[in-house]
Each structure stands twice: as C-alpha cells, then as structure tokens.
Amino acid sequence: MRKRPLGKTGIEVSEIAFGGVEIGLPYGIGVVNASDMLSEDQAVELLRTTLDSGINFFDTARMYGTSEVLMGKAFLDRRQEVVLCTKCRPLRDASGKLPPDKQLEAFILASLHESLAALQTDHVEVFMLHQADSEILANQAIADVFSKLKKEGIICATGISTYSVEDTRQALTAGAWDVIQFPYNLLDQRQGEVFEEAARLGVGLVVRSVLMKGLLSSRGKNLHPALSEVERHIEGCQALLTDNFPDLPSLATKFALSQPEVAAVLVGIDRMQYLHEALHTSDGRYMNREQLAEARQLAYPEPEFLNLPHWDRMGWLT
C-alpha cells in the first residue's frame, strides 16, 4: 500500500483510508439494521486485517455509533501503527443554533474526550469538525479551540468536513485547518475546483463518497424512480471500463486516486471482500491525462441534485 503526505502535517497516510461509519451503524444501500452488519468480533478482526494489509489511515466520528469503540479494541496494542481521524459531535443544538462561545469550547472538549476514551488513546492524529457550514467556519472561537488542542498535543492536526465548494474555499481562506474532507466522485466533481489552491497552501485533502454510498458499484441498479436519470448516467460510465478499470468501483476509486492533490480516498469497508477489492484497486496504475479528461466528462450535468443526505431522508436509498 502506497503512502502519501497529508498536506504539510508531516503525517504519511495510506492512499486508501478505512471509512468507519459502516462498521458502527446501519449505513448504505440495503443496510437496514444491526442484522445486516458485522458482529463486534468480526469488525475487530476486519480492522486488524486492514492494518496488516498496509492501510494505516482510519476515519471515524462520535456520530458513527460503535465505530470508535471497535477501533479502540482493535488497535489497543498497535496504536503507534495507526493514523486516527475522528470528528466532533455536530455543534448545533436541536433548534439549529450554535451555543455561546464558552459553551462551544466545553462541548468540543467533551466530545474529544469521549472519543479518546472510546478509542482508548490519549491523542488523535486528526480531529475534525463534523458537518461544517459557513457560520461555523466564520466563528473564530471554534478555530481557536482546535488550535489550542493542537498546541497541547492532544491532536496532531486540525480538520474539517465540508459539503459545498463554497465552504471548502472558506476553510482554505481561514488558514486554520490542516486537513479538509469532502465528497468527490465521478458524478460529483465540483470540489476539483479547489485542488490547486489546497496544494499551494499545503492543506491535506481526503475524499469521501467516492462510491456514492455504493451507487457506483453493482448496487447502483434498480434504484428508486426518483433516481432514474442518475441510474442511466451511471450506466453510461461503463464506457470507460478497461482491463485496468474492470468495474465501476475500481474506475471510481482510481479516478479519485489519479488526482495528485488527494492524500487519501475513504472507502467504506465492512466486508473482507471490500477490503480485498480496495487493495487490488490501489495498485499505482491510475489514469493518464487522456483517461482523466474522459472521466471528467462523466460528471453529472445537474450536480446540485446529487444530495445523498437528502436522498436518504426521502427513503430513496433503501
């Protein structure tokens, strides 16, 4: 497994990052409840096998159910081998408002210490804001708390998870965030606009939703009628399949890994089969300039429609 620098943090991460949401709670197409998930023992075995395979970057969050606890158990005796990224609880209250600054600091600290306890560690390499938006990004008190934690050595790098290109640009301008995680895939390529600026600033980029919750795989068929146009567009991606990109997951993953500014691609791995597929895909044989140009033509013409959280709320992904 090849490693890439995580921006200017000094941290080297595997090209494939283990996305921890699937082992912690029901998530993705066809996953309805705990009966569709791995048992605790199976999840711990999968995590340790993943580390043995050369993947050292593991992404989780307070909001990912038992994911942190499982990682804590799996890596207790191998902590020095692992790069852990976790995320703070969402900052907004039930009414959607941000607490006052002093309460915000206490909230962030409480969330971090909950994560450290679950992960059975005294620090994390990357600590991220979860579900950031323009108001959160403009709040200097929040950035100051993260900076303080970094100076104290409890976290090694500050991070933020964004959705829109506008929020990513705002995070880059703020200069407070070492790592940014955002969605980027064959269909939704909007975040590609920030790659050059991020590289210039030395900000590490981590890509999520590379398979769009499994839509860019064999599960992207017979979708809800509301997604019929998306399904037809996905079928059109088949035209780029070759010996080096034999299926949609490998095509989608290699497309993201072909961007030199990307430090790592998050892959949801909740089966040994998916681990083996991810390892086979990250072989260093990525897209050349011509293939990248062709792949960029696969962007969905109405990217604003590609709103996975909304689709989930509407029940279109079940």
What pLDDT digit, counting tens, does each position of 174-193 carry? Answer: 999 999 999 999 999 999 99
Contact 88, 127 (CB under 8 A): yes
Contact 178, 158 (CB under 8 A): yes
* pLDDT value for 26: 73
Which domains does the chain carry? 3-314 (3.20.20.100)
* pLDDT value for 35: 75
> Rounded mean pLDDT of 39-61?
96
- Beta strands, E only, the chain: 3-5, 12-14, 16-19, 57-59, 83-87, 124-129, 155-161, 179-183, 204-208, 262-268
CA distance 65 to 72: 13
> Considering the chain, what is the average pLDDT of its residues?
93
Sign of CA dihedral 151, 145, 87, 284: negative
Going by pLDDT thresholds of 50, 70 and 90, the confidence category of residue 29 is: low
pLDDT tens sequence across 274-302: 899 999 999 989 999 999 999 999 999 99
CA distance 99 to 83: 31
CA distance 219 to 227: 13
Beta bridge partners of 17: 57, 266
Contact 66, 74 (CB under 8 A): no
Going by pLDDT thresholds of 50, 70 and 90, the confidence category of residue 236 is: very high
